[in-house]
Amino acid sequence: MKNSIRVARAERRMTQQQLADAVGVSRQTVNAIESGRFIPSTVLALKVARLFEKPVEEMFSLEEGD
């Protein structure tokens, strides 16, 4: 699964810790999602998309073979 969290954070000059605090997870979880080592729950993906005011499909997408 690909995601555009890192780009969205950069656009808002937001740190991983600030994002983590806003959606109720650890900074390590944000790092793992951004690097593709962890797939977020539906609820967490929706929270992230809402925070960045983007459709969830714009924030997360399946890669070939997913």
Cβ partners under 8 Å of residue 44, min gap 6? 23, 25
Q: Tens of pLDDT along 3-55?
A: 999 999 999 999 999 999 999 999 999 999 999 999 999 999 999 999 999 99
User: Which pTM value belongs to this model?
Assistant: 0.92
65: pLDDT strictly greater than 90: no
Split at pLDDT 50, 70, 90, the class of 66 is confident
CA distance 20 to 66: 26
Q: Report whether 58 contacts 65 (CB < 8 A).
A: no
Its CATH class, for the domain covering 2-56, is mainly alpha
Q: Report whether 10 contacts 44 (CB < 8 A).
A: no
Per-domain residue ranges of the chain? 2-56
